[in-house]
Each structure stands twice: as structure tokens, then as C-alpha cells.
Structure 1
Amino acid sequence: MLQDQLITAVTGLAFIVPGILLLRWWLNRSVGSPEAWAEQHIKILQQKYAQGEIDEETYRTRLKELQGE
């Protein structure tokens, strides 16, 4: 009886653990590194500023936030 429960638990973990690792890999792959994420958003911010969608104060504030200052 205890052996059956142990086998069931190990079998469940054999599916859950790889599933979690696969999910983490997929999320990291789709998001990328924090630096790449910040670079992408800085480019978007620069485009919005160049097109006049945001003012200089907003641009500088958001730029500092993205650069981590």
C-alpha cells in the first residue's frame, strides 16, 4: 500500500518537474534577457518621443526607469 502511494507520487513528479522546467525555459526564451527587454522598450520610447506622442519630461522619466537609474 505504501509502495503504491510512493510509486504514484514519483510518477506524478516525473511529469510535473519536467513540465515546470519546460515552462520556465519557454518563458525565458520568449521574454529574453532583461537587457534585451529594456533595449526594445527604449527604442519604442524613442519612437514615441520622435513622433511627438510623449513630451520630453515623460521621455526622460521613462528612460531613467528603463535604464534602472
Structure 2
Amino acid sequence: MIGDELRKARQAKEMSQEELAHRAKISRNYVSLLELGQKSPTVDMLMRICAALGISAGELLLKVEGKKRR
């Protein structure tokens, strides 16, 4: 699930949800909903979040796809 990978990436950067939200210019609540799998990001939102995390969207999506295939 994309939310799981977003949370792992955020935690790997030792970043709080609040900090990620600030950097991506979104609400902390939205970050929480994404990580819980209750919301799905738009492409634009995914790009902003990944930029804030310093990772590429492709890298994140490859991890998500890899987990689906297992």
C-alpha cells in the first residue's frame, strides 16, 4: 500500500508528519490519512510529497509494486 511506503520513507528521513506536511504544503491530517490508507494521493500531490521526502515518485511506486507481487 502506498501509505505504508510513504510512512517508511518519512520515518527513514526522521521526519514528523507535521514537518512533511509543511514541506509539501499539505495538512498534517492529510498525511495521516494517506499513511493509514484512507486517502489516495493525486499525481500532483504524490510528486510534492516525494519532493519533500527527497525521493522520486518512481522509486516509491516501485516499492509499492514490489510488495503487491509478493
Q: TM-score range by the shorter chain?
A: under 0.3
Higher RCO (Cα < 8 Å, 6 or more apart): 2
Q: Between Structure 1 and Structure 2, which shows a larger proportion of helix residues? A: 1
State which structure, 1 or 2, has the greater radius of gyration over its C-alpha atoms: 1
**TM-score normalised per structure 1:** 0.28
**TM-score normalised per structure 2:** 0.27
